């Protein structure tokens, strides 16, 4: 698996987990409120 596919799969996982907005433009990872909470906690 190349890195492009890895990034796509990981982005999909993060969208499914509610951490990234599904409607953000290609190449932009827009965090949801839950994603911001997770980021601050890490």
Burial class (CB in 10 A: 0-12, 13-18, 19+), 20: buried
Record the pTM: 0.81
Contact 16, 8 (CB under 8 A): no
Per-residue pLDDT tens digits for 1-42 = 799 899 999 999 999 999 999 999 888 889 999 999 999 998
Question: What is the sign, positive or negative, of the torsion defined by CA atoms of 6, 9, 13, 14?
Answer: positive
Number of domains comprising the chain: 1
The pLDDT, as a whole number, for residue 33 is 97
Range of the domain at 22: 3-41
3-state secondary structure of 4: helix
**Nearby residues of 32 by Cβ (< 8 Å), 6 or more positions away:** 18, 19, 20, 21
């Amino acid at each position: 698996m190349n890195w492009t596919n890895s990034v796509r799969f990981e982005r999909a996982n993060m969208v499914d987990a509610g951490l990234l907005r599904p409607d953000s433009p290609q190449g932009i990872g827009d965090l949801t409120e839950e994603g911001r909470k997770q980021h601050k906690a890490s």
